[in-house]
Amino acid sequence: MMPRPHLGRPAGAAYPWIVVGLLWMVSFLNSADRAILNAVKPLLRHDFGITDIRLGLIDTAFFWTYAVCAFCFGRAGDSVRRRTMIIGGLAFWSVATGMMPLATGFAMLLGMRTVVALGESTYYPTATALIGAWHRPATRSRALAVHQTAVFAGGGIGGWTAGQLADAHGWAMPFVVFAALGLVVMVVLLFVLRDDAPKPATATGVAESGGPKTGGERAEPLRLIFGNPAALLLCGVFFLATAASSAVLNWCNTFAHDVLHLNLADSALVGPVMITSAGFGSVLVGGWLADSLARRNPLGRIGVLAAGMALAGLFLVPFPWARSVGTVALLLFGTSFGKGLFDGCIYAALHDVMPDEARATAAGLMTMTGFLGAGLSAVALPAIAAHSGFAAGFSIMAALYLLAFAALVAGRAPMARAIAASAGQE
């Protein structure tokens, strides 16, 4: 039996950032495992005789399973040890990813990706709540932004590595390799990850106990969320943004392969690597900028969210006129830079309007709405492409980003009220 960490030992000043580093590795694998299927879609289409619409249905099943389960596990993350949820989920989805090569056709691919989604959905709401518990508002955006870079790194490096492995060894190899990496990281977490974050002092000067509260003194998280218009608005904005970004990310490999006539590895360089490299940098800019502006104005993070949505939408509009590899890469870089600004502070903005005891549930609800949108766009984009082409479909996704921008601008008043109410509880 492996030794358990000394959860009662006081944490050093650096440990909140160690938590970010540990969870960065998990988030990288969470995103990389998700990117593998995108990288090998052309091979699956050939080997199993699957149409693009059916491949889109596999994505939809994954996203919708992830969506519903993320909400359920997020709610659980406010009631159980967050460390246990994260480590157990990583072990589950790593094993499920490693079993993907057992699939022999469309039905098994669909079912096995659904199982992977079940495991992956345990992670993000609970992880962001754990980071939020270890970091006070002054560093929260930056901590969550650093964590968010793993999503871009996993999607880009994971997608490119998966393409390389698939070109050399077939579509099954990347699933096995990343599953093994997941189990290695799980062992590291067993020894190092803690969730006994210290609480800020109450009005009496006594610090609250760490970890999720239990018993009758804890308000019901769902009641807190559904009574909070600002939290619901952020969930709606996340739905629109994730639908648009997921559609582009999920199909840019296939676009580059079919339209630009590139191999799988080069398709990943033009598509996911370009998208994720832009996002990797901009998510850090977004986190730093959001923390800086929030110190001067309570709505600082909301301004960064709105700017990111406007930029992401504007770079997708001219996609139908893109004719070269360089132009496509530039547009994908630009739209991802805007989305990265948004990603750098969206969860911190949610934490601004919610108390700690409901943050995992709120993050689960927001993640659920986002992945419901991703599931819709995953099948909608290839359906649009069948009639008008992928480039036109990408351009249509710009409308979702611009609608999110408009919602953020219109919702500034309820955001300000919710931030003021929550600030008194920090």
| Phi, psi of 241, deg, nearest 5 | -65, -40
**Is 202 part of a structural domain of the chain?**
no
pLDDT for 200 = 54
Nearest-10 Cα torsion for 155, 161, 163, 167: -170
Q: At residue 3, does pLDDT exceed 60?
A: no
Work out the pLDDT band at 219, boundaries 50, 70, 90. low
Q: How many domains does the chain have?
A: 1
Residue-range definition of the domain harbouring residue 299: 15-195+221-420
**Is 261 part of a structural domain of the chain?**
yes
Q: At residue 26, does pLDDT exceed 60?
A: yes
**Is 4 part of a structural domain of the chain?**
no
**Is 1 part of a structural domain of the chain?**
no
**Is 203 part of a structural domain of the chain?**
no
Q: What does the pLDDT look like over 45-65, one tens digit per residue?
A: 888 888 888 888 888 888 889
Q: What does the pLDDT look like over 76-94, one tens digit per residue?
A: 766 778 889 999 999 999 9
287: domain CATH number is: 1.20.1250.20
Listed range (13-22, 192-201, 224-233, 368-377) with the worst mean pLDDT: 192-201
pLDDT for 199 = 64
pLDDT for 367 = 84
Of all residues in the chain, the percent with pLDDT exceeding 90 is 31
Q: What does the pLDDT look like over 371-419, one tens digit per residue?
A: 889 888 878 888 887 788 777 888 889 999 999 999 999 999 989 888 8
pLDDT for 423 = 66
**Is 214 part of a structural domain of the chain?**
no
Q: At residue 216, does pLDDT exceed 50?
A: no
Pick from 323, 378, 359: nearest CA to 126:
359
**Is 362 part of a structural domain of the chain?**
yes
pLDDT for 11 = 58
Q: At residue 183, does pLDDT exceed 70?
A: yes
pLDDT for 275 = 80
Q: What does the pLDDT look like over 313-324, one tens digit per residue?
A: 999 998 888 778
Q: Distance between CA 394 and CA 197 in Å, rounded?
A: 42
pLDDT for 114 = 93
Q: At residue 209, does pLDDT exceed 60?
A: no
**Is 175 part of a structural domain of the chain?**
yes
Q: How many CA atoms lie within 13 A of 172 on its CB side?
A: 9
Q: Taking residues 211-224, what's their average pLDDT?
A: 60
Q: Distance between CA 88 and CA 311 in Å, rounded?
A: 38
**Phi-psi map region of 349: left, alpha, beta (phi>0 left; psi -120 to 50 alpha):** alpha
Distances from the Cα of 31 to the Cα of 24, 193, 424, angstroms: 11, 20, 35
